[in-house]
A and B are shown apart, each in its own frame.
Chain A
Amino acid sequence: MASVPLHLSLLGELESEVMNHVWSTGQGEVKAVHSALGAPRGITVNTVQSTLKRLYEKGLLARHKVSHAYVYEPRVSREAFHHGLIGKLVGQLVNGQADALVSAFVDLTERAGVDQLQRLEALVAERLRQRDGGSR
């Protein structure tokens, strides 16, 4: 699988739906994707076709021809896609551009010192041992 081209990775709603579908089924051609996503939403085959083409042009899908129809499959795995997005988000956090929009359980841009971390881990473990009478 290729790595995600980040400048192209911010997908619209339908593009995300189509990618989710192709990621979960492994591959899909226009009619199948339209039956699964387009028909229930009243979206035409042409719209689904152009969405798949756009994702192919963005480098997120690969395609090959079977008979007269293109069959699309992921060129970028969901994990690689998310890894790229998270890297980009963390990059923005480091630059101070996203810190007001994201609240992480532990800070994504600042790491505790090794000695401090070990000291605190030992302290917490000791407190838990004392409290639980060595049962933990």
Chain B
Amino acid sequence: MTQVLPGAQLFLLAAVTYAAIGALAVAAFLLWLGPVLQRWEPGARHRAVVMLAALPAGSALVLLVAASLPSVLALAAPWLDHCTVHGGDHAHLCFVHLPEVGIRLGLLAALAYLVLRGAIRVARAGTGFVRAGRIVAALERSGEPSGVHDLTLVEAEQPLCVAAGLFRPRILMSRGLFGLLVTEERAIVLAHERAHIRRRDIVVSAVVRGLTALHLPAASRWLRSELAVAAEQACDEEAAEEYGDRLVVAATILKVERAMRTASSGALAPVAMAFGLTAVERRVEALLGAPEPARSLRLPVVMMGAAVLAALLLADELHHLTESLLSLIAH
């Protein structure tokens, strides 16, 4: 029983080590791939960012499962057990022969710090989610039906329109924006927001936000920002396709941006000035050009599938490699 804790420490250390390797790989990959990705069509870019965001968590899970397979097999078939060849102080990644010693105290403290920090971040994000959800629900309940089934009008002069909500997203448009836009512009804004709902962008964004907690800070910021811009551009493209006019979509974005700028010079809210091109600038520039050709992500998906298969086939080698790595780090 007393050996359960050292065993759990090793599994946790293995998971964190693999996640850290995944995070470093993505950060290094982004230095090269980041500028290339920004030229991809938004749909493919969005999917690629989701895959990159999931890489540390996904690779940690796959590698840990694969590295644990020999010990799972030893549970089911004891004659396959190989742990007896190791010494007692070996970092056993094993459910049968739990290690006699845990990891170094300093490392344990660092692990505890990481887990605690992660838990606090998750709790904070959860609280923010709940609060924002309650505000959106309050706006919807006290708003006025617009006559359009999925649109609620909010009594406010600020020119805003949002799709909001995780499980039952809805569109909220301020009366200020409703009055500012002509019929065709309103149709474009609604087509854009409905595209967000159809694509489940809000759920994806929430999941990616959680996954980016495992990344290095700069990579995490890049992934979240790029995901948001890619989602906006994908919805612009859908609105342009539905309306049949990219220039009018661009003009509508600029009109709303101009109105927001005027409103925010008053007392709307603190406004962050962006460095480099803002999302609006990138969206309009993209709409002024020709649409990028669709891009398939079949190759990276096949490569990831092959990597998962290879990890499972090489489970025994991976198990020993992980134990050696853990012995090196932990003791």
Contact = CB atoms under 8 A, between A and B. Distances in A.
Q: Do A and B bind each other?
A: yes
A16 B268 contact: no
Given A97-B132, A105-B161, A111-B264, A85 B139 contact: yes
Nearest to B248: A128
Interface in A68-124: 77-79, 81-83, 85-92, 94-114, 116-117, 120-121, 123-124
Contacts of B254: 117, 120-121, 124
Given A86-B158, A89-B136, A94 B280 contact: no
B166 A101 contact: yes
Contacts of B257: 106, 111-112, 117
A10 interface: yes
Query: Which secondary structure characterizes the binding site on chain A?
Result: helix
Given A19-B142, A85-B139, A104 B129 contact: no
Interface stretch (B3-11, B46-54, B77-85, B188-196): B188-196
A11 B141 contact: yes
A127 B250 CA distance: 11
Given A86-B139, A124-B250, A112 B154 contact: no
Query: Which secondary structure characterizes the binding site on chain B?
Result: helix
A20 B261 contact: no
Interface range, B side: 35 or more
Nearest to B140: A16
B284 A103 contact: no
Contacts of B158: 83, 86
Contacts of B154: 82, 86
A15 to B, nearest CB: 9
A71 B83 CA distance: 80
A87 B139 CA distance: 12
Contacts of A124: 247, 250-251, 254, 284, 288
B138 A9 contact: yes
B142 to A, nearest CB: 5
21 contacts: A79-B155, A82-B156, A85-B139, A89-B135, A92-B135, A97-B125, A97-B127, A99-B205, A101-B166, A103-B205, A105-B192, A107-B279, A110-B274, A110-B278, A111-B257, A111-B261, A112-B281, A116-B281, A121-B254, A124-B254, A128-B247
Interface of A: 9-11, 13, 16-17, 19-20, 23, 77-79, 81-83, 85-92, 94-114, 116-117, 120-121, 123-125, 127-128, 131
Query: What are the 3 tightest A-B residue pairs by CB atom distance, in nearest-first order?
Result: A97-B128, A98-B132, A16-B141
Given A82-B143, A116-B277, 15 more contacts: A10-B137, A77-B155, A79-B157, A86-B156, A89-B132, A101-B206, A103-B202, A106-B257, A107-B279, A108-B160, A110-B272, A111-B264, A112-B278, A112-B280, A116-B278
